[in-house]
Amino acid sequence: MAKEILVGNTSDFEEGGKKIVPNGKSEIGVYLIKGEWFAYQNLCPHQGGPACEGLLMAKVEEIIHPEKKTYHGMRFNHDEMHIVCPWHGWEFRMEDGVACGDSAWKLRKYDVNIRGEKVYVLA
């Protein structure tokens, strides 16, 4: 049965903020992104890096002219944020934890419960 881990108060989090809490022999990273809560195991499925301790980066997109198919640089798409593992740079979608480079790989996801001011993860 899943246990609840107290992460802290909602007021501890700024928009785009995160907190890493211990969970047995590992940790869980809890994020507040545009009003939504997300939680993932701090363990990259690639080689075991502390994925949640890396940067948050927006998705990179190429700017391709729709008719001419020509390339016109790159931009960040802030609607899709990525968790970036600091060991090798593997990127994972915040929405579901799936690896951008290969959907066969993903971070372990946890549910987040908000009760009053308190933030909990179910681990």
What is the binding site for another protein (CB under 8 A)?
A: 16, 25, 42-43, 47-50, 53-58, 76, 78, 81, 84, 86-89, 91, 102, 104
42 vs 120, beta carbon nearer another protein:
42
21 vs 42, beta carbon nearer another protein:
42
**In contact, 113 and 120? CB cutoff 8 Å:** yes
- Per the listing, tokens 């909602």 go with 10
Least distance from C-beta 12 to another protein, angstroms?
15
38 vs 42, beta carbon nearer another protein:
42
SS3 label, residue 77: strand
Least distance from C-beta 117 to another protein, angstroms?
23
Least distance from C-beta 47 to another protein, angstroms?
5
39 vs 120, beta carbon nearer another protein:
39
**Which ranges of the chain would DSSP assign to H, the alpha helix?**
none
Cα 73 vs. chain centroid, distance in angstroms?
A: 26
Least distance from C-beta 116 to another protein, angstroms?
26
SS3 label, residue 10: helix
Q: Which residues contact 49 (CB under 8 A, 6 or more apart)?
A: 43, 85, 86, 87, 88, 90
